Chain A
Amino acid sequence: MTIYSLYIYDRHCQCVFYHDWQRVKKARPANEGVMLSHVTPSTEMTSPRNTLTMSSGIIIASSESVPPTPAIAPPVSSANLTSLPFDEEAKLVYGVILSLRNMTKKLSGREETFVNYRTSTYKLHHYETISGYKFVMFTDPNTATDTIRFVMRQIYTNPFIEFVVRNPLIDMDSRENGIDNDHFRTAVDKMVKNLAIYA
């Protein structure tokens, strides 16, 4: 049992947050200028921004335009050669979710959303908030559906509301910046690592 990665999309179909944990096959660095700034496949806990010049060292929100730092090149291995650039991957994930959502709605004939799908090596879970934010989690194929749905709800009700929605410095509908900030990332990271299924 394990958890691979978490994507959060806003209602403009943009990926605003990404974090990965035990992901084996890393995405290649995104093409320049396609992703929102502060949404990177490198999930080192060190912020991509220059924290040394700031007084506190912790970023509450970043509205100033900092050029997105080029992601650290992952070590070259045979597994990396076939992986997609991060921006394309993020788009594909969104595309799959959107298509499956439409298909589910059509098949059931009522307002019904798609919950998850499973392949031989992973399971993708989807949770959508009323405000249109979509939480997508990649986990082990054997993870129970209800557990992850609960976790995603928890991420939304706790760190997301607390550090993103209630944060006056974050421009929620910004089309330039992700919703990244250190408090949120740390809280999510801690929450996931404390789960029983994370091991």
Chain B
Amino acid sequence: MIRARDLAKQFGHHRVLDGITLDLAPGERVALLGLNGAGKTTLIRCLLGLIPFEGTLQIAGCNVHTDGRRVRERVGYVPQRAPHFDGTLAETVEFFSRLRGSDHGAVARRLLDLGLDLAVHGAKPVRTLSGGMLQKVLLALALGSDVSVLLLDEPTANLDPRARREFLRGLRQVREETTVLLASHRLADVEAVADRLLVLHGGRIAFDGTMDELWARAGAAETLWVRVPPAMRDAARARVESVVHTPAFVSNGTAFGVRVAHDARADVLATLREADIRVEDFWTESPSLGSLLSGALGLPIDDSSAAGDRE
């Protein structure tokens, strides 16, 4: 469905994309990951034909360079933040539906499925609507004409948790044969949507695989926090460090944490039970996507350099 060969893009002296070769099959659910400035948005803009690039890029059999309009007919797009269009919601929906050649009724029904009734909200000016509502509108518009490809550029980045959950739920409506490419910083989004992950780094695709493979590549990236009675803490730490072979670190007095591989969490807890150390509580803390990527890419772990949450 998407076929890129030696895709490259240079801004001044900075080569943002440096030879991307890629095939996405119909129906694939792909997450596009990368540190800040890795070129995710640039790649999406190339896919939409909004900027010129080197190499060849075909979507649904059409050449993006020469046949941008037909490509965009087949591609739905949801940006990170919905612009505040002039006019009311109903006008905006009608205008973009007609522009995309979508059935206006179908879009309205889809909006209803997403929990947004045009009959109720249609007369409201777009600028009075919440970000969550707008993203749903854009999603409905993007899907309206049964597109072949859905491009999502960090669509939940500016949403509160509830709106984010609703948006991700809405993504389940996507037809099976539609190829979805989601650029995201959020592990939860990626896990909810994608079964294939692409990591952009240095202008190239540095990783192409499943989530598990990414975890494996990144190694111990999850933090397991364990709370034990204070008297047992030092014993517990020694015990755990012998299993995971990494130093534990202490936080807020009674709990301590260790970095563990995704599948080694059970081992840690088993060790403690064997030693009759009472585990009062435990929880895991997912790493930020940034630290996961840093791990996978072999970069020094530095959460501040990663694309963390922006909220």
Q: Is B one of A's binding partners?
A: no
Which residues on B are within 8 Å of A, measured CB to CB? Answer: none
Which residues on A are within 8 Å of B, measured CB to CB? Answer: none
